[in-house]
Amino acid sequence: MNYPTYETLALELVGGQVLVVTLNRPEVLNAINTQMGRDLLDLWTRLTADAGAVRCAVLTGAGERAFCAGGDLKERNGMTDEAWRAQHELFERAFMALMECPVPVIAAMNGYAYGGGLETALACDFIFAARGARFALSEVRLGIMPGGGGTQNLPRAVGERRAKELILAARAFTAEEGHEWGLVNRLCEPGHALADALDTARAIAENAPLSVRQAKKSIHYGLQTDIATGYRFEIEAYNRLVTTEDRIEGVRAFNEKRKPAFRGR
């Protein structure tokens, strides 16, 4: 599919199947302003409606210093209550569109991420982070609180008690700590987070795309319910794959001892 030219995002299709999305405001450490909210909402909505050839996406930030510094507080300075709420409602839709996106999205965190920047990474399916990167949900220092899913996604990643400590104390933590707690899937050498994420994205892209999307959906929604209901959801997702061309191709390729040619049908 064709994408528009975004003011705040840079897109690159790698290998025809992996979309690299770069938060592209390096002059302000990729802080999220209103336009970036519009751009992200549009992108994730387009990927949901028609991913085309894209089988996996990698989200990263321009430059080596920061993944995303969070909300653009210079833009927010002096905002009326009405304007603030309107902007945040836009951000809310962008966060939900990312969390609901059927295409797997890997966060490649090349530097620090605070507030909405960390929440953006938490809304992705999993995180690769450079050693030495620092993260925080520090909104309570500003008289607000996490509003991009942080109070929901962080405890699901690190547990309720640790999340309370980090959010209520506005405590910064390192990528190494995040890895120890299960927030970060892989620690990468500085400058290599994107390359490492791309390796995994390519591995995902080689698999049957409908299978990948159904499995992602089953994990995501199953964890929000009891195990019996989650299993019923899994079987519904499974049965939708039985009649696909890719299922037939996958089994045939296995028996013919060759690499399958999946078409997403």
Q: Where are the domains of the chain?
A: 9-205, 209-255
Residues contacting 133, CB < 8 A, separation 6+: 67, 109, 110, 111, 112, 113, 174, 175
Q: What is the pLDDT of residue 234?
A: 96
Report residue 219 as tokens: 């994990």
pLDDT band at 2 (very low <50, low <70, confident <90, very high): confident
CATH number of 9-205: 3.90.226.10
Q: Which CATH superfamily is domain 209-255 in?
A: Lyase 2-enoyl-coa Hydratase, Chain  A, domain 2 (1.10.12.10)
Q: Is it the case that residue 137 has pLDDT exceeding 70?
A: yes
Each residue of 149-162: pLDDT tens digit? 999 999 999 999 99
Question: What's the pTM?
Answer: 0.94
CB atoms within 10 A of CB 89: 11
> Measured between alpha carbons, how far is 102 from 51 in angstroms, rounded to an integer?
9
The model's pLDDT over 27-60, given as tens digits with 9 standing for 90+, comes to: 999 999 999 999 999 999 999 999 999 999 999 9
CA 186/CA 237 separation, integer angstroms: 28
Query: Which residues are known catalytic residues?
Result: 119, 139
Tokens of 71: 């909300």
